[in-house]
Amino acid sequence: MSTPPTAAAALATGDVVEVEVGPVAHGGFCVARHEGRVVFVRHALPGERIRAQITEAREGHRFVRADCIEVLEPSPQRVTPPCPYAAPGLCGGCDFQHADLGYQRDLKASVVREQFSRLAKLDVEVSVEPLPGDRDGLGWRTRVEFAVDETGRAGLRGSRSHEIIAVDSCLIADPRVLATGVLTQDWSGESAVDVAAPSEGEAVMVSVPSGEADVPVLTERVAAQSFSGAFEVSARGFWQVHPGAAATFVDTVTGMLAPQPGETALDLYAGVGLFAAALAQRVGESGKVVAVESDTGAVASAAGNLAAYPSVAMVRARVDDAFGVPRAHRSGPARNRAQRSRKLRRHPLLPLRADLVVLDPPRTGAGRDVAAQVAALRPRAIAYVACDPAALARDTAFLAEAGYHLAELRAFDAFPMTHHVECIALFERTSA
């Protein structure tokens, strides 16, 4: 009698297996197989033969996770990681330090193509472009959140773990972050400490929870080819962490949309108003920009950042709420779910028609309902800024259902040494 596949492939945490590594997968892993069981392995590269130690094996799952602990046949693109903490069992912040920087971008492009093929049923040609100011993929991260261990020392978390790894340095952090002395101070009594190094002024440290009551406001200056301006941002608020990102993304979005004087534009998930300001400058006083953002702190910052643009209207709301999308699918007590199932009233500042839309949603994406509402505005162009290619690919399919096709796609290495990649997509109305 043959052994059942599940029994043959039984693996437990701590087991060591020898595997041949297959393609890269979304999330910083590569795919391997052991006796029919899928193994998602970190610190490996496609084509390598390795020994991997199982780090996660859950009953009933068809896959396990593992770390490469020995390379038997290395890839030609393998390099020695510049950081000693970029190794199995240590810091989880960097996924690809063991790969040549150019090859890292090839891997990310492969992930983008695979997500579009699988989720949007599209074959896309895309390469991952470096951002201006890149220095061998190091020293770029201007905002870092450090966890604090039981001894009061700041460190970084392991991959898919709450374990805090004590570190002496972080090579992807902006040198100004480390110059604050965050890694040498005693943070006893705190759970975390955020460090932000803005484009103007000194780097600041904000501890959590004691620093939550008085968070500094920083100035970030954007000097793009198409737009320039200064933005006030909370030290704990969202801002692009790569110093070349904001200007590059503004130029890309405005280049794709080509805003014209007098047009109406929506900036959805507007943050502190970066894209809204750039759009307002282009559509002029005869045009209109409606910016929608739910975060209270971001809205407060945006109000000041956009005060010089009379054509901008700021809406503090969730994007789906602003469109009046029913919320029956959300979790919560039964009574609350019933209340949420009632159709919400569309926000009165949201126009019924728009010429242009910018979507810059969180990692989860915009979703089918928002995609449908955006399409119902019948814009001539939609620019979608995405930090997760899987969410973008899903929403590409939703926009296609609603009558909009992918017209252009670019990808940027806004997070070198990690698996993350920023994509900007242009959608246009599909002809009848």
Residue 354's nearest CA partner among 274, 278, 262, 281 is 262
Q: Is 287 inside a domain boundary?
A: no
Helix axes 389-401, 368-376, angle to 10 degrees: 50
Is 269 annotated to bind a ligand? Reply is: yes
Residues of the chain with pLDDT under 50: 1-8, 330-332, 334-335, 337-340
The reply, when asked if residue 20 is annotated as ligand binding, is: no
Query: 24 lies in a domain?
Result: yes
Give the CATH number, domain containing residue 52. Answer: 2.40.50.140
Say how many domains are in the chain: 2
CA-CA-CA-CA torsion for 388, 389, 390, 392, nearest 10 degrees? 90
378 Cβ neighbours under 8 A, 6+ residues apart? 353, 354, 429
Tell me the C-alpha distance between 372 and 406, whole Å.
Answer: 15
Residues 86 and 17 in one domain: yes
Q: Which long-range contacts (CB under 8 A, 24 or more apart) does 22-31 make?
A: 22/46, 23/110, 23/114, 24/107, 24/110, 24/111, 25/111, 26/111, 26/114, 26/115, 26/389, 26/390, 26/419, 27/419, 28/95, 28/96, 28/159, 28/418, 28/419, 29/65
CA distances in angstroms from 11 to 34, 58, 262, listed in the order given? 9, 9, 63
Residue pointed to by tokens 């307002």:
280
Residue 260 lies in a domain: no
pLDDT for res 349: 96
Domain hosting residue 63, numbered range? 11-106
DSSP 12-79: -TT-EEEEEEEEEETTTEEEEEETTEEEEEES--TT-EEEEEEEE--TT-SEEEEEEEEEEE--TTB-
pLDDT at 37: 93
Residue 53, annotated ligand binder?
no
Instruction: Determine, yes or no, domain membership for 341.
Output: no
In a domain, 405, yes or no: no
Instruction: Output the pLDDT for position 53.
Output: 98
d(CA 359, CA 397): 15
Residue 210, pLDDT score: 73
Please identify, among 106, 134, 153, the residue that sits at the C-terminal boundary of a domain: 106
Q: Do residues 148 and 204 both lie within one domain? A: yes
Alpha helices in 197-342 (DSSP H): 245-257, 274-283, 296-305, 319-322, 334-341
Active site residue 387: yes
Phi, psi at residue 56, to the nearest 5°?
A: -145, 125
Within-domain flag for 393: no
Nearest-5° Cα angle at 370, 369 to 372: 65
Q: How many CA atoms lie within 13 A of 83 on its CB side?
A: 26
- Catalytic residue selected from 91, 170, 387, 423: 387
Indicate the residue among 160, 195, 213 that finishes a domain: 213
In a domain, 43, yes or no: yes
pLDDT at 8: 42
Same domain, 21 and 72: yes
Question: How far are the Cα atoms of 78, 80, 277, 412 from residue 100, in angstroms, in the given order?
Answer: 6, 9, 38, 17
Distance CA 310, CA 320 (A): 25
- Determine the Cα–Cα distance for residues 231 and 246; give it in Å rounded to an integer: 11
Res 4: pLDDT:
42
CA atoms within 13 A on the CB side of 178: 12
Rounded to two decimals, the pTM is: 0.93
Q: Same domain, yes or no, for 73 and 153? A: no
Residue 293 lies in a domain: no
Instruction: Find out whether 240 is annotated in a ligand binding site.
Output: yes
User: What is the CA 333 to chain-centroid distance, rounded?
Assistant: 30
Pick from 51, 78, 106: which residue ends a domain? 106
Cβ proximity of 360 and 336 under 8 Å? no
